Amino acid sequence: MASTNAHILRYSRRHVVTAFIRGLHSTYLLVQRSDAVGSYTAFWGGVSGGMEHTDRGDTLGRAYLEIEEEVGYTKNELAFVRHGRPLLVDDGPSRHFWVQPFLFDLHSAREPRLNWENVHARFYTRDEMKTLQTVPLLVETLDRVAVTENTLVEQSCQVLQDDRDHGAAELCLIALEELRKIVSQDSVEEFVGVEAYMSYVRNAAWHLASTRENMAPIANGLALALADAVPKILRNGVSLLHDIGSAKTVVLESIEEQEHALRTRNDALIEQSCRVIESLATRHDGTSKISIMTLSLSSTVTRVIQGLIDGGIVVDITVCESRPLCEGVVAAKQFHAMGAETVTLITDAQLASYIEKSDIALCGADSLTARGFVNKVGTHTMALHARQAKTKMIVLSDLMKASPGPVFNVVSGKETNEFQSEEKGPEEVSDVWMTMGLLDKEDVAIHGVHSGRSLNVCNSYFEETPYELADVIISHQGILRSKDIQEYIQELEGIYLSAFVW
């Protein structure tokens, strides 16, 4: 579906947020609407409210506001858990809603404090909700956020969340494999028809896509697979197939096709990159040689270095250790095993001293935004010093890494130009200081818990580097222009909506 049509369909509906507040034993707070409200009087529902122009697309902010107004819980008494896939609700000829669900955990023992909009509040299980007179599709809305712990979906999301060993391209393939596991499960008795099953599959893909938001290939790969499969299975929300088994087959085929396309593109990217970098090598006495600086651990960079060595290029490579987990050390060991002429491993702080000795600075990318390329922290510093030293800055990527933003922002229509870094636990940074005896545990604020004398330790994993600091971006098709990236980013909005909403 074209981005323009998607925009019209999305904004022709009344946008509503629905907040589910989770209590003990997988129960959720519902409120019963009063006579004073204009619709669904005496019906039970989650805490809900319509979006206002002044919200500027901030659905999460509106959810917090509705919770405080309707049941009296403040932001400090809640823990945001996740957002869910939007739900299209059509109730009669004049009620057409775009419902954005949220899930929060309650960290307060006090009773809810109701305003005029509701007359009762009580915690119910999902099964108990089915016995109530509720607003339309309440249980279906809950299912979009209530991914119970220890389920296959939750485990698959955790696989992606905990991974520190793979780059964005590899994680995309891992995400598709996790979706395959979810789709392939045998127990489908709980699903009443193909429509319910596909809702579950799309919910699972949504949560996988939302797990590592700075790694655009994860969301792109999942969205492309579903955007291919869904129109073959559903039309206007109604199944075109007779049984769940047929739907499974279609989704699995689309996943396989997407995996094949990704591997083909990756192979082409390696070939193009080797060709460009070989042209920059210096020749002396019949030998081609190139000096490279890199950082972190990129599967694409690793494969290109291997390709250069296999092609007879003598490679000298300097690798930044890449704190806090020092994956650059792993990369250095790999380059040494490949047969690089020399491998020099340095601390990140020595980058400026060594980059003048390099012909090129080389990195991959986890995402390509409208403004710049996103990669491990330290990349921006390397690009700045490369520019000063007149060392060519080369980025290896392709359009699969183009990022319109987090899937939630794209689908909900929230416009934001601000890059949000992925923050990891401060203990990854501070543990080495404690081992050296420089700090004690009580000196450091862990997970936002501060004492009166604690240090705030930051651990941002990614940063955005402006395109103007890259001399060349190499894709599977050759040299990539920022214009190409921006055009594909616009196209991705329609792909995301086809995969997760329509």
Q: For residue range 269-283, what is the model confidence (pLDDT) as tens digits? A: 999 999 999 999 988
Which residues lie closer than 8 Å to 418 by C-beta, 6 or more apart? none
Tell me, what's the pLDDT at 416? 62
Position 2 pLDDT exceeds 50: no
Position 15 pLDDT exceeds 70: yes
Residue of 94 and 333 predicted with greater confidence = 333
Opening angle at CA 224, ends 7 and 371, nearest 5 = 65
What's the whole-model pTM score? 0.83
Task: Decide if 361 contacts 355 (C-beta within 8 A).
Answer: yes
Section 237-255 average pLDDT = 91
Q: Lowest-confidence range among 174-178, 187-191, 333-337, 395-399?
A: 187-191
Please report, for residues 13, 94, 233, 486, the alpha-carbon distance to residue 492 in angstroms, rounded to integers and kept in the order given.
Answer: 21, 30, 21, 10
Measured distance CA(496)–CA(502) in Å, rounded: 9
Give me the residues paired with residue 121 across strands. 31
Q: Lowest-confidence range among 63-67, 150-154, 363-367, 460-464?
A: 150-154
Burial state string for 445-476 with b = 16 or more CB within 10 A and e = fewer than 16: eeeeeeeeeeeebebebbbbbebebbbbbbbb
- Average pLDDT, whole number, for the chain? 90
Burial state string for 384-421 with b = 16 or more CB within 10 A and e = fewer than 16: bbbbebebbbbbbbbbbbbbbbbbbbbbbbbeeeebee
Q: Concatenate the DSSP letters of all residues of 239-300 into one string.
A: ESSSSHHHHHHHHHHHHHHHHHHHHHHHHHHHHHHHHHHHTT-EEETTEEEEEEEEES--HH
- DSSP state, 468? G
Give me the residues paired with residue 449 across strands. 446
Burial state string for 93-127 with b = 16 or more CB within 10 A and e = fewer than 16: eeeebbbbbbbbebeeeeebebeebbeebebbeee
Q: Please report, rounded to a whole number, the percentage of residues in the chain having pLDDT higher than 90.
A: 68
Position 232 pLDDT exceeds 70: yes
Position 445 pLDDT exceeds 90: no
Section 132-161 average pLDDT = 88
